[in-house]
Every structure is written in C-alpha cells, then in structure tokens.
Amino acid sequence: MGNEQEFQDLLQHIAPDPDELHQRLRFLGWRQTDNERLSRCAQRAEHANQHFVDTLYQQLADYPAPAAILGDPATTERLKQRQADYYRGLWQSPLDEAYVLERLRIGWVHQHTGVDLKWYLGAYRLYLDRLLGELLGSSVASDCFSSLIKKVFFDIGLALDSYGAAQRKALQDSEARYARAMRGANDGLWEWQLEQDQLYLSERWIRMLDLDRDSLSPTSQSWFSRVHGDDLPGLRQAIDNHLRGLTPFLNHEYRIRRQDGSYLWVLVRGVVEICSGGLRRMAGSQSDISQRRAAEEQLHHAARHDPLTGLANRARLGELLQQAMQRQQRPGAREAALLFIDLDRFKLINDSLGHQTGDRVLVEVAERLSHCLRPGDHLARFGGDEFVALLDDLACMGDAERVAQRMLDNLHVPLKLQEQTLAISASIGIAALQESGQPLDPLQAADLALYRAKSAGKAQFARYSNELQQQAQRQLELQNALAQAGMRHELHLAYQPICQLDGNQPQLIGVEALLRWQHEGRVVAPLEFIPCLEESGEILAVGDWVLQQACSQVRIWQRTGQPHLRCSVNLSSRQLQQSDFAARVADILQRTGLPPSSLVLEITESQLMEDSAQNLACLRELASFGIQLALDDFGTGYSSLGYLKRFPLHIIKVDKSFIAGAPQDTESLAISRAIIGLGHSLGLAVVAEGVEKQAQLDFLTSEGCHYAQGFWFSRPRSPQELQRLLSGEDCFDGLRSPQDEGKPTPEVQT
C-alpha cells in the first residue's frame, strides 16, 4: 500500500478544482433536496445496506482475483465493516470537500491494492439493483430498470476501457518516443532523491560503465564511489552550486570508473525539483564524452608540442616557466635555471645540405640535449635551431654550468647521418630563474648570456650577470643615440696624415679619414660604436656619407695646392657585400671629382674572410677603376699569405701593435721586418701604423718601409686643423709642413 506522501503527491494531479466539481454536480442535477431526501430515507436503507454487503462479499469470493484480495476472514470482516460504513455515509453524509477527499482516497487505496475497476462497477450495479428492489419492491417496471442498470453499467465499463486504453496507448507512445530518443542520444538517465538518498539509474547509465544492476546499491554511493578522486570535489561542488541556485542546471564533466577499472570521461546534466514536503529530487542524463575529450587532448598536446622533435614548444615552455616561478616563491625552494641553447652555423647546414638534413640534425640534437637532463628537468624547442632547458631544484648555479658543459661535450661528438658526418656545436646562455636585482625575465636574461657566448666565439656557454645586462643596456642606449647621430650632425671626420719616408723629411702624401662621434660632450671612439652601426645595418648609410665627405674634402685640398694628396677610407665588410657598392663608389668619385687613383680603400683581414666570393668580385671591380686597396691591421688576424695573392691588393698596413714594440721587442721587430719584406717582395706598398717615437721611425727607415702614419707625425685632426698644416700656418711634430709659396689658399668644406 502506498504511503500518505504518495497520496498527497497524487492529489496534486487528480483533485478536481471546485469549478469542475460544480459542473459535474450540475450536470448530474444534484440539489440540496437530494441530500435531504437521502438522509430521510437513510433509515430505510440501513438494513438493505447490511444485507447487500454480505451478498457482495459472497459473490466476490466466487472470483479468484477479488477473492485473493479479501484474504483471511478477519480482513474480510474488517473490509465488510468499512463497506457498510461507506453505504451509510452514502445516504447520510453531505457532499462536501471532506467527502470528495475521502472518496478519492478510497479509490487510490483500491487501485493500489489491485482492485480492478470492473469489480467496482459491478458492486455499484449490484448495490443499485438491491436498493431498487428494497425501495420499490418487485414489479415489471423495476425488473426492467434492473436490466437497464446492468446494461448501462456494462456500457460504462466498456467506455472506461476505451478511455483507459487510449490514455495508456498515448502514454506508451510517449514513453516509446522517449526511449527511442534516449537510445539515439545514447545517454544514461538518473534520478536521485536527495533526502532519502535513493538513486535510480537507467539501463544505459549502467551499461556505459559495463556494470550490472545487481551489483549496485540504490543509493548515491553507487555513483559517487566510482568518480575519479581528482574529480569528485569538482562534481560535488557543481551539484552544490546548482542546489544553492547558483547555476540554472547541473552541467559538469568528470571521470568515472568502469567495471575494468579504467576511467571514462562523462558529461552529467541535471536539474533539481522540489517535491511536496520540500523534498528535493534531481534528475538528468549522463553522456560518454571520451572521444571528444581524447580529440581535445590531442589538440591540446599538438598545440603545446613541436611536431618535429616531440619536445614542448614555446607555448608549453611558457606554462612550465610559470609553474617553476611559482615553485620558486615557496620557502626553501632550491635554485632553478634556464639554458638558452642555439646551434652555431645551423643556417649553413640547412642552406648547403637541405632542410631534410637540417631536420634530422635538429631531431638528433634534441635527443642529445635530452640525455643531459635529469627527470624533472624540461627541454623545449623554442624555434628554429633554438632550444631552452629548464633545470629545476639545483643545489647551486654551478650545477647549471655543469649541465651546459655536458651539452657542449655531447654535441661535440660528430653526428653521423647516413652518408655524411657533421660537426656541430652550440652556444648556451645561462640565467637563474630568480635572481635578486635581475631586471630581465629569465628568458631574456638567458638570451643575453647566449648573445655573449656567441660573440665571445661560439661553442661555449656564458652566464648572465647584471654587468652583462648593464653593458647591453649601454649598447642599446648607444644604438638609440647613434640612430639619431646622423640627423643631429654629431658625426664628423678626423683626418690623420700618412707620410712618405723617402728623403730627409717625411712628406705628407695622404690622409686617412677616421669617423668621430661627438656625443653628449665627449668624442666616442669608432671601435666603440662602429660594431653597433654594423649590427643595425646603418653602417651602409654612414659608410656612404664618410666616403662622400672624405672624397669631397680631399678633392678640395687637391684643388688648393695638394694635387697628389691621397684619401684613405676604411670600409666595413657589410659595405663590400652590397652588390652595387662599386657602382656607388664610382658615382661618388664622379660627383666629387676625385680621381680614382687618389682613393685608397682599407679593409681588414677578418672582413675579407667573411664572404670571400662576393668580396673578391667587389674588390676586383673597385681595382679595375684604378682605386688602391689596402689591407689594414695586417698581422693581427689570420695573416694568410693566400689573401695577399688572391685579392687585388696594393698596400699592406702593418698593425700598430707591432710598431709599438719596436725597436726594443725583438719579436715585434722580427714580425715588422718580415711584413715589410713580404710587402716589398710581393710588390706592395707598406704603411706602418702607430709610429709614436723617433726610434720607431728610424727602424722603419732602416728597413726600407716607405710609408708611415702615427702620433709622431700627427694625431687625427679636424679638417680645420689639417688645413692650417697644409697652408703652412701650423706645423706638427715630426712632419714637415708642405708649404709651397704661391699656392691657392686651401679650404675646408663645411
């Protein structure tokens, strides 16, 4: 039998509203007089009622279904008593709200007990039949009416059959539709009565996890005990949020354990409903989302890893870095470091052996670098030929240096790729993940250290220091300031005389143009800022300007009394690499009017090395115009005699470091002597640089060196100062002023 709560729930669906009751009674023609009439006759019916109950129960006992419900004699007696009470009430009780409620309750009890409607109807028919006889007695009319009642009740039964069948059919259809939809959606269903902790799970819900219903208890334990430990708090929170009205429905993804112990990703959706009595019931669906999850995870992985090497990519490195930085904040955290690794000359491998080989090298390098790491460290491909290693939990930064050294050693072993053996090397920058006073983020710091390792000759590691950063900062400031130097007219040229040593007195035969930068009240030396100009590429524009300026100035001096004065200009290798450089020089010569034979272009050995094919072509073209080419700072670089033959050179300049040692230092002396001899035997003019003393000059003269340059004769001078020398107004130490009466007054260009 159902409980009271169930009946109360049911009432919400069946209790007709007052209007409906009113309509029903009106159609039945029920009036107050009916009530009174029945009450008046109640006494007369009393005996018939009792008699009828006996007859009814006797008759019911003949049919197995009602007989089974009647049960033992005591129950039957109790039921009969209730039945008699009911008939009494039928005559006496007013047709009020309590009466309606009681009838509904009895109907519900009977339905629950399994009393079929036909017994109900049959009993009423019998009752009416009995009461008809009792009240009217037997007559042809009452017999006829009795027959009519039988048929009417039979008809009512059939009508109820039709109504009921139609309703059941509609319900079945809707259930079948629902079941089909559910099968199509492939979702499991659940319903959970929270207060009673009763859980209903659909067949699909259970099969999704390969479980069988018998092994599950009908409580929420069957559900929650299978949820992945990491996901349970989240699921509970999501349910709680919904119950507290924070979310319109439950919608949560989590992992749940299958029969075989593996976990399945599912999406649970549901909504709570408050039932009568304030009890809460949640119901919803659960779908298998493992395929979607797997695809998402694959995408997620692909987005954070490099497809070539399988290493973490830059995005993933960012995450790892952030986590490592957070770990660094914790008290007692040990050191952590970043290694920024860049292959040396990788572009050469790619360009000369093809990208496929390049790729294989990268895979092999990734492998070798990985071998140098401990579990817990991470290696990422930052891009191209750049890798970043994140080393965690180090005792000291020295450990990071040891790892870097191990990497260099591992890479040093020649790489065998089928038909080729390749020598590879890398440069590594090291930075601590967290260092007090470090203004850069660790990646920038490691990158800066890498830059230092590269510029110090590659195939080595360098560690970040604040001093390094300050240097870089200064460099940057310098670069910024330099970028505007041209516009602000801060660049100018100084000219240093070059002398011929034949005869008694050294004779000024040329000048070397030397670039000066007047910056914030001081003159910045070219060695400080020319590398900057080269790096930014601005050396091209500045170089053009120097050439133009020097040629033009020397041409003026030529026209005003020094017709044979030569003009030496220093070149940067980047200038030579321009394919139209020779044409540009020709253009400048043409515009300034300086004869090509008056121009000397100075190149250093290291510049010649950089891209010899292009350099060679360019130098040949320049030489073909009649321009003189000088090899500057000879002896400081590779001093390859090959260059002297291969390139169309006319002059070699002995570096000042050898002259500085002469004549006391025998080694410098020997080298200077050898270079001078070499120059002569190759038919090249030799200029000695950096002559500061009479003794050096004497030595050079005795060696037959024809040309010299140095502070002994003159420091580099402004054009105005030099002009005073040329015009005889001034005279410098060691240098005879080339005064010549009657010459036009020399000028200085402005």
What residue ranges bind ligand C2E (CB under 6 A)?
496, 514-515, 525-527, 530, 546, 570-572, 602, 632-633, 656, 689-692, 709-711, 716
Cβ-based nearer residue to ligand C2E, 526 or 648: 526
Cβ-based nearer residue to ligand C2E, 345 or 492: 492
Q: Are 236 and 254 in contact (CB under 8 A)?
A: no
- Minimum separation from the CB atom of position 470 to Mg ion (A): 30
Cβ-based nearer residue to Mg ion, 390 or 546: 546
Cβ-based nearer residue to Mg ion, 377 or 633: 633
Q: Are 535 and 572 in contact (CB under 8 A)?
A: no
Cβ-based nearer residue to Mg ion, 256 or 546: 546
592, interface contact from Mg ion, ligand C2E, none, CB < 5-8 Å by kind? none
- Minimum separation from the CB atom of position 704 to Mg ion (A): 21
Which residues on neighbouring strands pair with residue 383, listed in sequence order?
Answer: 386
Determine the Cα–Cα distance for residues 64 and 341; give it in Å rounded to an integer: 93
Within its chain, how far is the Cα of 8 from the centroid? 58
Cβ-based nearer residue to ligand C2E, 361 or 697: 697
- Minimum separation from the CB atom of position 465 to ligand C2E (A): 28
The single residue listed with the structure tokens 């993940």 is 433
Cβ-based nearer residue to ligand C2E, 131 or 508: 508
710, interface contact from ligand C2E, Mg ion, none, CB < 5-8 Å by kind? ligand C2E
690, interface contact from ligand C2E, Mg ion, none, CB < 5-8 Å by kind? ligand C2E
615, interface contact from Mg ion, ligand C2E, none, CB < 5-8 Å by kind? none
Cβ-based nearer residue to ligand C2E, 368 or 656: 656
- Minimum separation from the CB atom of position 689 to Mg ion (A): 5
DSSP state of 387: E
- Minimum separation from the CB atom of position 636 to Mg ion (A): 8
514, interface contact from Mg ion, ligand C2E, none, CB < 5-8 Å by kind? ligand C2E
- Minimum separation from the CB atom of position 404 to ligand C2E (A): 34
- Minimum separation from the CB atom of position 515 to ligand C2E (A): 4
- Minimum separation from the CB atom of position 702 to ligand C2E (A): 19
DSSP state of 16: P
Which residues on neighbouring strands pair with residue 426, listed in sequence order?
Answer: 343
442, interface contact from ligand C2E, Mg ion, none, CB < 5-8 Å by kind? none
Number of residue whose CB is nearest ligand C2E: 710
530, interface contact from ligand C2E, Mg ion, none, CB < 5-8 Å by kind? ligand C2E
Q: Which spans of this chain sit near Mg ion (rule: CB under 5 A)?
A: 570, 602, 632-633, 689
Amino acid letter at 386?
Answer: E
- Minimum separation from the CB atom of position 609 to ligand C2E (A): 15
Determine the Cα–Cα distance for residues 66 and 48; give it in Å rounded to an integer: 22
- Minimum separation from the CB atom of position 572 to Mg ion (A): 11
Could you tell me where the beta strands, DSSP code E, fall in 609-725?
A: 628-634, 651-654, 685-688, 707-708
Determine the Cα–Cα distance for residues 211 and 215; give it in Å rounded to an integer: 7
Q: Are 548 and 588 in contact (CB under 8 A)?
A: yes
Torsion of CA 575, 579, 581, 587, to 10 degrees: -160
Burial class (CB in 10 A: 0-12, 13-18, 19+), 389: buried
Closest to 388 in 3D by CA, of 453, 323, 452, 320: 320
Cβ-based nearer residue to Mg ion, 342 or 632: 632
Torsion of CA 278, 279, 280, 283, to 10 degrees: -130
Determine the Cα–Cα distance for residues 266 and 256; give it in Å rounded to an integer: 7
692, interface contact from Mg ion, ligand C2E, none, CB < 5-8 Å by kind? ligand C2E
Closest to 43 in 3D by CA, of 92, 100, 103: 92
Given its phi and psi angles, is residue 169 left (phi above 0), alpha (psi -120 to 50 degrees) or beta? alpha
End-to-end CA distance of the chain: 118
Within its chain, how far is the Cα of 701 from the centroid? 70
Asked if the peptide bond before residue 375 counts as cis, ω within 30 degrees of 0, the response is no
Cβ-based nearer residue to ligand C2E, 690 or 719: 690
DSSP state of 414: P
Cβ-based nearer residue to ligand C2E, 408 or 600: 600
- Minimum separation from the CB atom of position 709 to Mg ion (A): 9
496, interface contact from Mg ion, ligand C2E, none, CB < 5-8 Å by kind? ligand C2E
How long is the chain? Answer: 750
Q: Which residues of 349-358 are buried (b: 16+ CB within 10 A; e: fewer)?
A: bbeeeeeebb
